[in-house]
Chain A
């Protein structure tokens, strides 16, 4: 698959996910809406990172940095949760 084609397909996938996230917000799913939205957002981010930002080529260092950032964000959220809201 040529790169421009891959870029275009990714773009359309992103638009589809946008439609999905907006559309699903009209269904009364309670907390399921938030969960679905966050999962879809994560999927979009993953597509942008792997395809547009070429995470898979370009050596291991960018992936290491991304991993570190995600780990540190997790740390921030989990420990803050414990500190501020108990368990």
Chain B
């Protein structure tokens, strides 16, 4: 790391060699370790998607064999879900900012924090091996008995990688929960915490309660595949629906792991660039916990057409409509925060506003899918793909970009090129919509997911989508360039370049190793942007 830190009191100054990074217990450095690993995996998942979109330009399967295509969408799913999205904001921005936002010197268990990164890397080796050795073709969902009996490919290796990485998630979750309870600064009551902390806490709740069920499920998959224990194999008396039930018990809450932190970022950025306190702070805080809890009640909506009981379908459909409510509350509150605000459109704000619109779109699509009758037609079509990409890419990745750009000066002590930032944000918004809106249309027209051949009448939409993917790829490569550039040539950032509230802005950019020269004391509510405004 060749970041020059002329001021000896920043965390970069405490050692520059490889050992100081690989043996660090400083939460800020652990955040960087994760940032590097996650960026690597983002581009691997992105490469798989690129190949898929190139193939889909023509209706025939001319670039790839069926098998190769299956392996690509499986790699894309596994890598993007478990090796990018789940850890993304929590392990990078969360690790860096949580102690700072609480006014603490570090997380509760710093060595556990470093260990979690090593567990992540170790687990990723298994999955990387599986990819390099030819891949897996079951889809990221590992459905049995395909995965246990019939699939060729390195299912056990890939599953083992995900199993191990799950422990990294659990370790992070435990650390964040305990840190939030036990290391708040004097005066830092629960309802003075920034919403980003609330969402990290809610995310951590889901991480620790849901991930073990995934671990159990993957363990049973591997045992079924290697030893034929038969639990998911109908030929042996097992139940494939049991697999789906266990898998989605984790995987639905997992999608809330993959959006809550993004919501937290947006809740920090919008008040700052509207110069107004967050509207309905307590409601937003409660909604975060509500999303985490309610998220556990809806998993059966992935199984409407699987053969589960119709009665269960009704129950899960109703609950799925309910879970939209706390998310909607948040969207209304973000919108109301903007009202009468002095809005400026710096790069983080562009991404944050993009989030609100795209997340809302994705959420509306979710309501369609929650309706039993409509889901019968839309299940396993591109409508579903568009729905979750609007939320995970239009939402979470956009929020990740917002957060990276908002806190980059704090992390690095450098400012990036605002012009390039705005261009990238604009390209991302355009590219994203061009890529994924046609997929709503395709799904509605009936194109199934996970197919690389399609009827010729679908081609125009597929071509639009692939064109969008090119723009989106550019939009994601651009920040890699100018953010990387800023590390060496960017202007030095002041302690609080945005004039934001929050304890992290009360220290230098970048912070010293112990975070605060003087341990902070909190005396008022968060988001004190317009002191004369009461709400």
The chain A residues found within 8 Å of chain B, CB to CB, are 61, 68-69, 72, 75-76, 79-80, 82-87
Contact = CB atoms under 8 A, between A and B. Distances in A.
Interface in B185-243: 209, 213, 239, 241-242
23 contacts: A61-B181, A68-B209, A72-B209, A72-B296, A75-B296, A75-B297, A76-B249, A79-B297, A79-B315, A80-B245, A82-B309, A82-B312, A82-B315, A83-B245, A83-B300, A83-B303, A83-B312, A84-B242, A84-B308, A85-B309, A86-B311, A86-B312, A87-B309
A69 B296 CA distance: 13
Q: Closest 5 A-B residue pairs measured CB to CB?
A: A86-B309, A83-B312, A82-B312, A83-B308, A83-B300
Contacts of A84: 239, 241-242, 245, 308-309
Interface string B100-130: 0000000000000000000000000000000
A68 B204 CA distance: 13
Given A82-B312, A83-B245, 6 more contacts: A68-B209, A72-B209, A79-B297, A80-B249, A84-B241, A86-B312
Contacts of B239: 84
Main secondary structure of the interface of A (DSSP, over half): helix
A86 B46 CA distance: 41
Nearest to B246: A80
A79 B298 CA distance: 9
A84 B244 CA distance: 10
B180 to A, nearest CB: 12
A75 to B, nearest CB: 6
Nearest to B306: A83
Contacts of B213: 76
Interface of B: 181, 209, 213, 239, 241-242, 245-246, 249, 296-297, 299-300, 303, 308-309, 311-312, 315-316
A61 B182 CA distance: 11
A74 to B, nearest CB: 11
A83 B248 CA distance: 12
B243 to A, nearest CB: 11
Contacts of B242: 84
A46 to B, nearest CB: 22
A76 B521 CA distance: 42
Contacts of A87: 309, 311
Nearest to A61: B181
Nearest to B313: A83
A85 B296 CA distance: 19
A68 B292 CA distance: 13
Contacts of B303: 83
Contacts of A72: 209, 296
B309 A83 contact: yes
A43 B312 CA distance: 33
Contacts of A85: 309
A84 B238 CA distance: 13
Nearest to B182: A61
B209 to A, nearest CB: 5
**Most A Cβ at <10 Å: residue of B181, B209, B241:** B209
B135 to A, nearest CB: 31
Contacts of B245: 80, 83-84
Contacts of B312: 82-83, 86
Contacts of B315: 79, 82
Contacts of A69: 209
Contacts of B296: 72, 75
A82 B308 CA distance: 9
A51 B241 CA distance: 40
**Most A Cβ at <10 Å: residue of B213, B297, B308, B312:** B312
Nearest to A75: B296
A86 B297 CA distance: 16
**Most B Cβ at <10 Å: residue of A72, A79, A83:** A83
A61 to B, nearest CB: 7
B181 A79 contact: no
A54 to B, nearest CB: 18
B335 to A, nearest CB: 33
Nearest to B308: A83
A62 B181 CA distance: 12
Contacts of A79: 297, 299-300, 315
Nearest to B303: A83
A83 B311 CA distance: 8
A85 B309 CA distance: 7
Contacts of A68: 209
Contacts of B209: 68-69, 72
Contacts of A76: 213, 249
A85 B242 CA distance: 10
Contacts of B246: 80
A79 B319 CA distance: 11
A84 to B, nearest CB: 6
B205 to A, nearest CB: 8
